[in-house]
């Protein structure tokens, strides 16, 4: 309970800080929403009246205060450029990003776990060296470059998967999956490498432990030692990284979302930024910060589940 | 080979690849353990005793080699003839091992109940409820109070002594015929050390198992072992029934080992007295007696030829030894007859005093 209170306080502070910073930064952007909307041939008077209308004439603290009091009531305002309620825009784009994030993490784990385990099984074996080399090659590619390659290969050449566009889950899971597979793969193919590497090195370290020696002395077969004894204590860096990646992806899949025209959070954020649409940007930032805190919280929970020494209520800690 | 022997090892050599060349961790070692008896294996750290244990328990590190014509017989079975599967089974079932650091040798993320019952469930194929009942019994047998609720504890919730008791319970779970205890008390408080060794003795009497008790502390284990073997640089350099060994240590290293121990009457300030010099690098070839660089008795012959393990058959028996000769201080008062050195060598027989030295302590220098 104590822990939950601390975490919530943490969340509030983070949210306040990032939204305030967002407001300050947007104010210094070299674009202005009123000119975007009114266009090139607008008169000075048009612009002024629009500023008035959008409430942009108030000072920065006043604007932030207004936004904050709205946000506290669950009212995130409307987009300055489209007039759409920000809450609605977020509700539409967040699921896309979450799905992408989840799928990418699952794919990355599906690659990293078996390859990492097999590599740690016999360090220095041909398999270990091969996976290390391939991984190194993949990790040195930026995800967007990989995305372009994948798109060329699977959409344009083989025509297996759509190049762009997103079908909501409500239409059908297969169409939904088809749209997300390439973007998720572009992320996963780069990300699994670091996951595999930390898992491999942690596993190798764990396999040197005395309790593994004892497990061998018990006459247990190798697979049982690996999965029952070695894997769980070797998952900490892996979980931490998955959490970090997940948090990053929440707002950082901008390029991928743009390449594949996915209407996700990253795209919403980017369009908001370029038009100085601060209610949209602030809303996105708020959601991302919330997501980050939630991710670290669940990583903490995972630690406790993995290792009894880290559980909060123990017999004697 | 006597039917009384549980384990006999002949001519066992263990080589380990390393970055600095092949380490000769164990070199042509022969010994035997009688049924229901304890053999103490004593030597400084790095003398190869742990690798010897690991070779017996089948848990050598990857890449280790056992060259030469070795032979191991366990309970009448020639281990070289068993299939890998049978070997694993035998080792999981009939040989239990306790490692030095109980915290490191217990899995931190499993409850102790699960760790004790795992070998039973795996090897004996018994039901979970039966395994649980046996686990409680075992934990009680190794002196863990409130065994039943303790089963749900994790290793970090127990004290060092309790952890080592759990480790012993694990080793005993399949009712082994041989228990290998590799420095079982080194990581523990002095007060707990005796408790654990007493426990091992009691378990041995109750179960009739043999124990290989490995330690760097000659005085600590010798009183509890029927036989004592001293290891140096991968070789057994002196071996005898414990009373005979203490009545007449012949190898200078054995004597140095005992003198290197802290005494109650010595001030405990500063580092403990150690044997002068370093144990040899086992990755480099050794010519002559491995102990020669540190030996006060060394002569040219020692540096040229390696002494083989010889029998001291004609040494005075214990009952003839002077009664006032105390265990730790009795060297000076040893009778010094010059026995003709019998050239015979009976590898693997534990009933004689054997030593590898050209100029043993207690003999006239020629
Ligand atoms: S053989 Fe020589 S060097 Fe080796 S222990 Fe005996 S006296 Fe010392």
Res B168 pLDDT > 80: yes
A243, part of any domain? yes
**What residue of A is the nearest CA neighbor of B117?**
A218
B342-362: pLDDT as tens digits: 333 344 444 578 888 888 877
Our measurement of the distance from residue A202's CA atom to the centroid of its chain's CA atoms, rounded to an integer in Å, reads 24
| H or E stretch at B190 | helix B190-207
Helix (H, G, I), strand (E, B) or coil at B310: strand
Residues in Cβ contact with A185 at an 8 Å cutoff, skipping those fewer than 6 apart: A104, A107, A150
Proportion of chain B above pLDDT 90, given as a percent: 23
Residues of B with Cβ-Cβ distance to A210 under 8 angstroms: 99-101, 104-105
Alpha helices by DSSP H, chain A: 2-27, 33-38, 44-54, 60-72, 86-121, 126-139, 143-150, 173-207, 210-217, 222-224, 236-252, 254-259, 265-274, 278-306
Nearest beta carbon to residue A314 from set B58, B157, B170: B157
pLDDT at A111: 92
Give the range of the structural domain holding residue A147, as residue numbers without chain letter.
89-273+295-310
Q: Chain B residues within 8 A (CB-CB) of chain A?
A: 54, 57-59, 62, 88-93, 95-97, 99-101, 104-110, 118-119, 122-123, 153-154, 156-157, 167, 170
Nearest residue (CA) to ligand 1, atom 3: B292
Do residues A308 and B154 make contact, with C-beta atoms less than 8 angstroms apart? yes
A222, part of any domain? yes
Tell the burial category of B323 from Cβ atoms under 10 Å away from its Cβ (0-12, 13-18, 19+): exposed
Distance CA B168, CA A61 (A): 69
Torsion (CA) B119, A218, B167, B350 in degrees, nearest 10: 120
Distance CA A210, CA B106 (A): 8
Residue-level pLDDT, tens digit, chain A, 317 residues:
577 787 788 878 888 888 888 888 777 766 666 666 666 676 777 777 777 766 676 777 888 888 888 788 877 777 777 778 888 888 888 888 888 888 999 999 999 999 999 998 888 888 888 988 888 888 888 877 888 888 878 777 777 777 777 777 777 777 777 778 888 888 888 888 999 999 999 999 999 888 998 998 888 888 889 998 999 889 888 998 998 888 888 776 778 888 888 888 888 888 888 877 878 888 888 888 888 888 888 888 888 888 888 875 543 33
ipTM value: 0.76
A52, part of any domain? no
pLDDT at A33: 65
Distance CA B184, CA B169 (A): 13
Distance CA A220, CA A227 (A): 11
Main-chain phi, psi angles of A214, to 5 degrees: -65, -40
Distance CA B352, CA B239 (A): 8
Do residues A183 and A149 make contact, with C-beta atoms less than 8 angstroms apart? no
Nearest beta carbon to residue B157 from set A210, A220, A316: A316
pLDDT at A40: 66
Is any ligand 1 atom within 6 A of the Cβ of residue B249?
no
Proportion of chain B above pLDDT 70, given as a percent: 83
Instruction: Give the CATH number for residue A217.
Output: 1.10.3720.10
B80-120: pLDDT as tens digits: 888 888 888 888 889 999 988 888 899 999 999 999 999 99
Main-chain phi, psi angles of B13, to 5 degrees: -125, 135
**Across chain B, what does the average pLDDT equal?**
80
Atom of ligand 1 nearest to the CA of B289: 4
Size of chain B in residues:
366
> Which residues pair with residue B240 across a beta bridge?
B228
B289-302: pLDDT as tens digits: 888 888 888 888 88
Helix (H, G, I), strand (E, B) or coil at A119: helix
Torsion (CA) B48, B51, B56, B60 in degrees, nearest 10: -160
B35-86: pLDDT as tens digits: 999 999 998 888 889 899 999 888 888 888 888 888 889 988 888 888 888 8
pLDDT at A38: 66
B228-261: pLDDT as tens digits: 999 999 999 999 898 888 888 888 888 888 876 5
A68, part of any domain? no
Do residues B93 and B195 make contact, with C-beta atoms less than 8 angstroms apart? no
pLDDT at B329: 37
A201, part of any domain? yes
Reply yes or no on domain B5-242 having CATH 3.90.1150.10. Answer: no
Binning pLDDT at 50, 70 and 90, where does residue B131 land?
Answer: very high
A61, part of any domain? no
Is any ligand 1 atom within 6 A of the Cβ of residue B291?
yes
> Edge-to-edge, what's the strand order for the sheet holding B71-74?
B23-34, B5-16, B71-74, B77-78
Q: How far, in Å, from the CA of B291 to the mean position of ligand 1?
A: 6
Residues of A with Cβ-Cβ distance to B170 under 8 angstroms: 214, 218
Give me the number of domains chain A comprises.
1
A153, part of any domain? yes
Do residues A286 and A71 make contact, with C-beta atoms less than 8 angstroms apart? yes
Distance CA B153, CA B108 (A): 10
Annotate B76-139 with DSSP letters as a single string: TEEGGGS-HHHHHHHHHHHEEEE-S-HHHHS-TTS-HHHHHHHHIIIII---HHHHHHHHHHHH
Annotate B233-302 with DSSP letters as a single string: TTEEEEEEEHHHHHH---SHHHHHHHHTS--TTS---SSPP--SS-PPPTTS---S-TTGGG-TT--HHH
Res B34 pLDDT > 50: yes
Q: Chain A residues within 8 A (CB-CB) of chain B?
A: 122, 209-211, 213-221, 224, 229, 232-233, 306-309, 314-316
A190, part of any domain? yes
């Amino acid at each position: 309970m104590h822990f939950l209170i601390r975490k919530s306080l943490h969340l509030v502070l983070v949210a306040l800080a990032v939204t305030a910073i967002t407001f300050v930064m947007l104010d210094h952007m070299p674009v202005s929403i009123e000119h975007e909307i009114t266009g090139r041939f607008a008169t000075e008077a048009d612009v002024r009246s629009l500023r008035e209308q959008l409430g942009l004439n108030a000072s920065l603290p006043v604007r932030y205060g207004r936004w904050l009091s709205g946000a506290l009531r669950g009212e995130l305002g409307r987009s300055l450029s489209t007039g759409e309620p920000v809450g609605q825009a977020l509700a539409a784009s967040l699921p896309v990003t979450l799905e992408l994030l989840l799928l990418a993490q699952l794919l990355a784990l599906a690659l990293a776990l078996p390859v990492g385990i097999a590599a740690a099984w016999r360090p220095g074996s041909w398999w270990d060296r091969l996976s290390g080399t391939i991984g190194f090659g993949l990790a040195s590619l930026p995800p967007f470059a990989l995305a372009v390659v994948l798109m060329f290969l699977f959409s344009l050449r083989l025509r297996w998967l759509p190049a762009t566009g997103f079908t909501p889950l409500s239409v059908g899971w297969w169409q939904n999956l088809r749209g997300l597979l390439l973007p998720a793969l572009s992320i996963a193919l780069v990300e699994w490498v670091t996951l595999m590497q930390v898992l491999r090195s942690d596993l190798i370290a764990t396999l040197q432990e005395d309790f593994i020696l004892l497990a061998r002395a018990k006459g247990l077969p190798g697979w049982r030692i690996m999965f029952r004894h070695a894997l769980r204590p070797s998952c900490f860096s892996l979980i931490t990284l998955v959490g970090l990646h997940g948090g990053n992806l929440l707002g950082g899949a901008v390029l991928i979302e743009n390449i594949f025209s996915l209407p996700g959070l990253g795209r919403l954020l980017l369009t908001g930024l370029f038009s100085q649409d601060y209610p949209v940007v602030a809303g996105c930032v708020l959601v991302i910060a919330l997501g980050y805190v939630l991710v670290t919280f669940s990583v903490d929970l995972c630690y406790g589940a993995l290792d009894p020494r880290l559980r909060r209520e123990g017999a004697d800690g | 080979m006597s039917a009384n022997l549980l384990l006999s090892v002949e001519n066992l050599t263990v080589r380990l690849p390393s970055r600095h060349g092949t380490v000769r961790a164990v070199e042509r070692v022969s010994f035997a353990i009688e049924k229901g008896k304890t053999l103490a294996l004593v030597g400084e750290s790095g003398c190869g005793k742990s690798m010897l244990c690991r070779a017996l328990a089948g848990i050598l590190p990857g890449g280790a080699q056992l060259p030469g014509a070795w032979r191991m017989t366990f309970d009448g079975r020639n281990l070289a003839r068993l299939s890998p599967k049978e070997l694993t089974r035998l080792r999981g079932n009939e040989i239990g091992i306790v490692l030095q650091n109980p915290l490191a040798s217990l899995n931190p993320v499993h409850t102790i109940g699960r760790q004790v019952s795992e070998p039973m469930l795996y090897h004996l194929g018994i039901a979970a409820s039966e395994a649980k009942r046996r686990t409680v019994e075992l934990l009680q047998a190794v002196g863990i109070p409130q065994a039943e609720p303790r089963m749900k504890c994790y290793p970090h919730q127990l004290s060092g002594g309790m952890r080592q008791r759990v480790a012993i319970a694990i080793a005993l779970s399949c009712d082994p015929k041989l228990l290998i205890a590799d420095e079982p008390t080194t990581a523990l408080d002095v007060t707990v050390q005796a408790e654990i060794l007493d426990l091992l003795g009691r378990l041995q009497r109750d179960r009739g198992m043999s124990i290989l008790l490995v330690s760097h502390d000659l005085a600590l284990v010798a009183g509890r072992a029927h036989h004592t073997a001293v290891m140096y640089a991968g070789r057994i350099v002196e071996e005898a029934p414990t009373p005979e060994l203490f009545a007449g240590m012949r190898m200078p290293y054995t004597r140095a080992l005992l003198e290197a121990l802290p005494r109650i009457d010595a001030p405990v300030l500063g580092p403990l007295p150690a044997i002068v010099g370093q144990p040899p690098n086992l990755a480099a070839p050794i010519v002559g007696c491995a102990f020669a660089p540190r030996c006060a008795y060394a002569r040219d012959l020692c540096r040229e030829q390696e002494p083989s393990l010889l029998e001291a058959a004609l040494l005075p028996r214990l009952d003839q030894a002077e009664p006032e000769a105390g265990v730790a201080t009795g060297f000076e008062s040893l009778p010094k007859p010059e026995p003709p050195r019998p050239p015979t060598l009976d590898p693997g027989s534990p009933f004689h005093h054997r030593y590898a030295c050209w100029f043993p302590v207690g003999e006239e220098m020629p």
